[in-house]
């Protein structure tokens, strides 16, 4: 075999174009063996109890392993093939077993206790003290104090959870990829945007078929639900997406048994570690103190939002009846009717706005915001990527110092997991005085360019891109030299969304919108009149949107705040109970929302989905500081791109990563405890409750 790209020096970039499925198993097994030896050496109690003797050598070995595994996982998510999936799944059990073995390694645990108890611990830098404290906590939460049968069972649970989560993810991907609807009657496509129709035609042509191929990928699904005048077409796609990976489709892709298995395993894991529920276990590592605090927080948001949501729905029903002749508003009508109401009320459509947001100009605008706030530059790199869609960028300081590498992969395609996310391949680290820079992936699923024109983004797509850029910046602009305190390693999960949600706010600022808009045909920026309509519609149906997030979060806490697992029937009953408590919209009985909820069952958000709203309180309050320091801009606008405030945000939030608790970082930036007021104001809920 030629040289394995996954075994390249940690100091070099991965040759993605050269990575093959057959490289994965040899690389992972070799690196596990190397890291296992490093763990055993670090656990030698004859070593001096120093950072240099115990932690540094362990980091040297383990970062090579986790870099290779991160690359394998990323490729499995973005260019999934049967061969790649098989190679990844072949390694998953041995990686899980190794990770569990490290967490249960009593000798290594004792070494960290020696570090903590050493005479010079108090003289260590605070970041190293925090890493040791977090390591001791994580050892305990990894079952290191378990013995005998309990220890063996914990290891089995870890392996089974990893396998079940991976299978859940595969079932969703396969279920979405396999479903399509072939349309031969052009009349059924009435109302759809031209680029969506063109993409559907090209998809059919690729299979040597006449007509149009509709799929469940978001660049197709959302425009159909928002714009298709054919109600039966909306119903057909809605039902297909609502039953993804459920018992109502291919039995081999049904996630029901995996949901039951994961809930049972999580409850058993929590019980083994002495916790009453998986939620109690998870909250040990969060800003929130306990489940009761989270539930109170969510119910308070629901109380604030429900009057607005009720008003939103009443208006929608009245409009559907009076203007569209729909006496009964069905779930597959909601997006369509909402779009018509928004068009009438604010006199613009998503399709009209989309013409101004071409991908190259949006990226240019995003880079402008980053450069203005944080005094860095983003430049294209020739580093090899995994697909022609992907591109590499270098992030450089004002003095041209390399700060990190960012890979972006923006288009939807078969074999690519849906959604948007950021992950890191390599962390910043100081090695003998030389800085190893971070490497980060930013992945989205937008529509592709067509007919020689650039890709067009909806404003929601633009917000998604800015959101994910916030995550990326958290890793790329870190000044933390110890990987154990990097943002993704140790920032509390319910604070990790702060930078991402913060960045979303700039998508609504006039000067930013001007800089990142350029009409696909004329090149002109978004007109002020159209911007004013977009801004006026910012909180359109914000009550229903907030309740939806609260519903998801309460459901998550409900099924994980249990002493044991639940049957699928119990899961659906829990979901229905939450809806009865807070929802205003109720889907059909055949809807299988949990089966496609990858955040909970394959994405690490189990007992943590509330983090989005929790962090939104923080991010809205942080952005309020930019509003408070805004200066007068053109056309009676404010200019929130305040470099001085941006530098404070960089210094107190982004640069410190997880080197201190998130609450301390927030306080350092804001000078006080967080307040919910900015979130309510940004959501249009600061005024008195609406009359219903």
| Res 2: pLDDT | 58
Neighbouring CB atoms inside 10 A of 271's CB total 16
Pairing type for strands 402-411 and 391-397 reads antiparallel
Nearest to 496 by CA among 571, 562, 421: 421
- Interhelix angle 21-42/82-103, nearest 10 degrees: 10
3-state secondary structure 194-220: HHHHHHHHHHHHCCCCCCEEEECCHHH
With bands split at pLDDT 50, 70 and 90, how would you rate the model's confidence at 638?
A: confident
* Rounded mean pLDDT, 101-107: 98
| Res 637: pLDDT | 77
Place of tokens 């297909």: 240
Pairing type for strands 429-431 and 434-436 reads antiparallel
With bands split at pLDDT 50, 70 and 90, how would you rate the model's confidence at 1?
A: very low
- Indicate the CATH number of 5-145 among 3.40.50.2300, 1.10.10.10, 1.10.540.10, 1.20.1050.40: 1.20.1050.40
In the predicted structure, residue 101 carries a pLDDT above the cut 50: yes
Pairing type for strands 402-411 and 439-446 reads parallel
Annotation marks residue 343 as catalytic? no
The percent of residues above 70 in pLDDT, for the chain, comes to 99
**421 has which bridge partners?**
443
Nearest to 667 by CA among 495, 493, 484, 428: 495
Structure tokens at 377: 């530059």
Angle at CA of residue 338, ends 517 and 525, nearest 5°: 10
- Residues 240, 179 contacting (CB under 8 angstroms): yes
With bands split at pLDDT 50, 70 and 90, how would you rate the model's confidence at 689?
A: low
Phi then psi for residue 403, to 5 deg, are: -100, -30
- Residue 507 to residue 518: CA distance in whole angstroms: 15
- Over the stretch 470-484, which tens digit does the pLDDT of each residue have? 999 999 999 999 999
In the predicted structure, residue 692 carries a pLDDT above the cut 70: no
- Over the stretch 542-600, which tens digit does the pLDDT of each residue have? 999 999 999 999 999 999 999 999 999 999 999 999 999 999 999 999 999 999 999 99
- Over the stretch 240-299, which tens digit does the pLDDT of each residue have? 999 999 999 999 999 999 999 999 999 999 999 999 999 999 999 999 999 999 999 999
Nearest to 545 by CA among 463, 486, 466, 481: 463
| Res 634: pLDDT | 73
- Residue 624 to residue 641: CA distance in whole angstroms: 12
In the predicted structure, residue 182 carries a pLDDT above the cut 50: yes
- Residues 331, 587 contacting (CB under 8 angstroms): yes
- Over the stretch 299-337, which tens digit does the pLDDT of each residue have? 999 999 999 999 999 999 999 999 999 999 999 999 999
Q: What burial letters (b/e) apply to 653-682, b meaning 16+ CB within 10 Å? A: bbbbbbbbebeebbeebbeeebebebbbeb
- Over the stretch 114-136, which tens digit does the pLDDT of each residue have? 999 999 999 999 999 999 999 99
Neighbouring CB atoms inside 10 A of 289's CB total 9
| Res 687: pLDDT | 63
- Residue 87 to residue 23: CA distance in whole angstroms: 9
Q: Which of 468, 482, 492, 551 is catalytic?
A: 468
In the predicted structure, residue 15 carries a pLDDT above the cut 80: yes
* Rounded mean pLDDT, 209-215: 98
**638 has which bridge partners?**
632
What is the average pLDDT score of the chain?
A: 96
Helix (H, G, I), strand (E, B) or coil at 665: helix
Pairing type for strands 421-426 and 429-431 reads unpaired
What DSSP line would sit under 267-284, residue for residue?
HHHHHHTT-SSHHHHHGG
Torsion of CA 138, 143, 144, 146, to 10 degrees: 150
- Residues 471, 422 contacting (CB under 8 angstroms): yes
| Res 636: pLDDT | 74
- Residue 222 to residue 199: CA distance in whole angstroms: 14
- Over the stretch 358-376, which tens digit does the pLDDT of each residue have? 999 999 999 999 999 999 9
What DSSP line would sit under 28-88, residue for residue?
HHHHHHHHHHHHHHHT-TTS-SSHHHHHHHHHHHHHHHHHHHHHHHHHHHHS--HHHHHHH
- Residue 389 to residue 75: CA distance in whole angstroms: 13
Domain limits of the chain?
5-145, 179-244
Helix (H, G, I), strand (E, B) or coil at 521: coil
- Residues 621, 679 contacting (CB under 8 angstroms): yes
pTM of this prediction? 0.95
């Amino acid at each position: 075999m030629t040289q394995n790209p996954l075994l390249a020096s940690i100091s070099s970039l991965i040759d993605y174009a050269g990575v093959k499925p057959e490289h994965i198993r040899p690389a992972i097994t070799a690196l596990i063996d190397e890291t296992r030896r490093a763990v055993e050496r670090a656990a030698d109690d004859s070593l001096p109890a120093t950072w240099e003797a115990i932690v540094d050598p362990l980091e040297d070995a383990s970062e090579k392993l986790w870099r290779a595994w991160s690359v394998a996982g990323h490729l499995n998510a973005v260019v999934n093939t049967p061969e790649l999936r098989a190679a990844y799944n072949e390694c998953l059990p041995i990686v899980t077993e190794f990770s569990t073995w490290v967490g249960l390694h009593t000798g290594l645990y004792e070494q960290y206790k020696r570090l903590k108890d050493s005479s010079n611990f108090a003289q260590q830098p605070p970041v190293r003290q925090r890493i040791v404290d977090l390591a001791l906590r994580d050892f305990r939460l990894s079952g290191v104090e378990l013995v005998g049968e309990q220890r063996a069972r914990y290891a089995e649970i870890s392996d089974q959870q990893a396998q079940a989560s991976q299978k859940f993810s595969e079932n969703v991907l396969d279920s979405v990829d396999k479903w399509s609807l072939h349309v031969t009657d052009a009349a059924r496509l009435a109302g759809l945007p031209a680029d969506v129709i063109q993409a559907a035609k090209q998809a059919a042509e690729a299979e040597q078929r006449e007509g149009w191929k509709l799929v469940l990928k978001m660049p197709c699904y959302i425009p159909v639900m928002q714009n298709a005048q054919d109600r039966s077409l909306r119903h057909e796609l809605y039902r297909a997406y609502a039953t993804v990976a459920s018992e109502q489709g291919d039995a081999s892709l049904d996630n029901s048994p995996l949901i039951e298995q994961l809930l049972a395993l999580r409850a058993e894991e929590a019980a083994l570690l002495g916790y009453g529920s998986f939620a109690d276990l998870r909250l040990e590592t969060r800003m929130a103190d306990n489940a009761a605090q989270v539930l109170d927080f969510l119910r308070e948001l629901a109380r604030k939002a429900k009057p607005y949501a009720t008003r939103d729905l009443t208006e929608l029903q009245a409009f559907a009846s009076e203007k569209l002749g729909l006496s009964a508003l069905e779930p597959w009508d909601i997006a369509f009717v909402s779009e018509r109401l928004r068009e009438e009320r604010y006199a613009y459509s998503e399709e009209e706005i989309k013409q101004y947001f071409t991908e190259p100009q949006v990226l240019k605008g995003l880079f402008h915001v980053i450069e203005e706030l944080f005094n860095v530059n983003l430049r294209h790199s020739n580093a090899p990527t995994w697909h022609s869609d992907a591109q590499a960028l270098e992030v450089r300081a004002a003095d041209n110092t390399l700060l990190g590498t960012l890979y972006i992969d923006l288009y939807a395609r078969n074999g690519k997991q849906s959604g948007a996310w950021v992950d890191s391949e390599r962390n910043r680290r100081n090695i003998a005085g030389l800085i190893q820079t971070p490497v980060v992936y930013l992945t989205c699923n937008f529509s592709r360019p067509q007919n020689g024109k650039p890709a067009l983004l909806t404003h929601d797509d633009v917000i998604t891109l800015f959101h994910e850029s916030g995550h990326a910046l958290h890793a790329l602009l870190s000044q933390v030299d110890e990987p154990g305190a990097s943002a993704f390693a140790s920032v509390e999960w319910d604070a990790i969304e702060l930078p991402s949600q913060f960045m979303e706010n700039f998508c609504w600022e006039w000067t930013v919108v001007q800089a990142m808009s350029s009409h696909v045909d004329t090149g002109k920026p978004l007109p002020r009149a159209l911007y004013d309509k977009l801004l006026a519609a910012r909180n359109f149906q914000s009550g229903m949107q907030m309740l939806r997030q609260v519903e998801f979060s309460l459901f998550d806490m409900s099924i994980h705040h249990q002493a044991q697992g639940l049957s699928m029937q119990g899961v659906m009953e829990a979901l229905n109970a939450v809806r009865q408590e807070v929802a205003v919209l109720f889907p059909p009985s055949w809807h299988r929302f949990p089966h496609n909820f990858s955040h909970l069952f394959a994405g690490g958000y189990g007992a943590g989905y509330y983090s989005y709203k929790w962090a939104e309180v923080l991010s809205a309050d942080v952005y309020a500081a930019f509003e408070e320091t805004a200066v007068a801009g053109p056309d009676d606008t404010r200019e929130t791109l305040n470099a001085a405030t941006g530098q404070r945000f960089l210094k107190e939030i982004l640069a410190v990563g997880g080197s201190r608790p998130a609450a301390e970082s927030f306080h350092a930036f804001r000078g006080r405890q967080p307040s919910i007021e900015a979130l309510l104001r940004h959501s249009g809920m600061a005024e008195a409750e609406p009359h219903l």
